Amino acid sequence: MTPESPSVHRIEVEATQAGERLDVLIAARLPFLSRSAAQRLIEQQRVLVDGRRRPRGFRVPAGATIEVEVPPEPDRPPLEPQAGDLDILYEDEEVLALAKRPGVVVHPGAGHRSGTLVNRLLASGRSFSTLGGEDRPGLVHRLDKDTSGVLLLAKTDRAHLALSRQFQDRTIRKTYLALVLGAATPDHQVIRSAFGRRPGDRKQFTGRVREGREAVTEVRTVIRGGLCALVMAHPKTGRTHQIRVHLAEAGHPVVGDRVYGRGWPRPGSRPEEEVEALRRMERQALHAWSLQFRHPADGSLRTVTAPVPRDLEETLDRVFGTRWRSALESWTGPASGT
């Protein structure tokens, strides 16, 4: 059997992308490649800029031509459809928006090819864009395993390209709800930092680096308790773990976050009722509340909102009573999401 040949993709650098890092630009223009995958191709000398090899941090000028050679993927067993519920928030011929439940992995990764949301999507019988690769049908963004909320998928290649460009251009407005430790949160703040991997632990990220990609998060306080606050976060950029990192490094880690904060109130904290309520959160109390985008077909503005999941809802009820619902409604509309 003749081995499959590599595919070559050509990128013409637009004026709006001039000065962008080579690895970042490749990942933005080729949605099926992550930034780490782009970096591997650069290191394997499979990327040329105007016929020359360049490092991954090279700032690409306008008008340059980038050639990216993508080798065929190694043979792997095909993904198996697995039945499971899909919490559909919105659907048409181009777009599907789901409410992702906490604890659900979005797509297969190293070591596991089952039990993911993608396996459920395959079992639904729907068709999705293939631009992200066979393991990521329709995916134009992702949510962490323990983060709940709105997940947007493209059902056609046209929709995938249009939505990917909106994420790249930062025109999609994302609103998250986070329950954080510490009641002395500012009414409003904009957290801006460089952003990169944490020295000594490449799986974690930090905003305390001298050099890195810019990360910007706008945060507003919705309501305060004795030991915590419910905040609304608008990430202006889309860095991995950005909201969790920015909130933790601002002194208000997300409740239940074992990676970027202590997770729960310190022993001996008061009031005890609030401590007990917060300790019921067994995962990071972060919820992708709403997402606003331009529809790929007609450019109309659409907003999709995901109901607050039961575990977070019960914790908020125990801490704030019904006050959090009216406080949130004053900002966004009915807190139930219905």
pLDDT tens, residue by residue, 250-295? 999 999 999 998 899 998 999 999 999 999 999 999 999 999 999 9
What are the residue numbers of the active site?
144
Q: Which residue has the higher pLDDT, 107 or 160?
A: 160
| Predicted local distance difference test score (pLDDT) of residue 308 | 97
What's the whole-number mean pLDDT along residues 233-247?
A: 95
232 touches 177 (CB < 8 A): yes
What's the whole-number mean pLDDT along residues 189-203?
A: 89
Residue 183: burial class (beta carbons within 10 Å; 0-12, 13-18, 19+): middle
The DSSP bridge partners found for residue 69 are 8
| Predicted local distance difference test score (pLDDT) of residue 337 | 38
Close Cβ partners of 266 (under 8 Å, ≥ 6 residues apart) = none
Question: How far is Cα 240 from Cα 35, in angstroms, rounded to an integer?
Answer: 11
H or E element, residue 167: helix 157-169
Question: How far is Cα 307 from Cα 220, in angstroms, rounded to an integer?
Answer: 19
Name all domains of the chain by residue range, CATH numbers in brackets: 7-70 (3.10.290.10), 88-169 (3.30.2350.10), 173-293+321-332 (3.30.2350.10)
| Predicted local distance difference test score (pLDDT) of residue 336 | 44
What's the whole-number mean pLDDT along residues 149-176?
A: 93
The three-class DSSP label of residue 123 is helix
Instruction: Using a pLDDT cut of 70, give the percent of the chain over it.
Output: 94
Query: In this predicted model, what pLDDT tens digit does every residue of 16-74 receive, in sequence order?
Result: 788 889 998 998 788 678 788 899 999 999 999 999 999 999 999 999 999 999 887 66
What are the tokens at 310? 């039961």
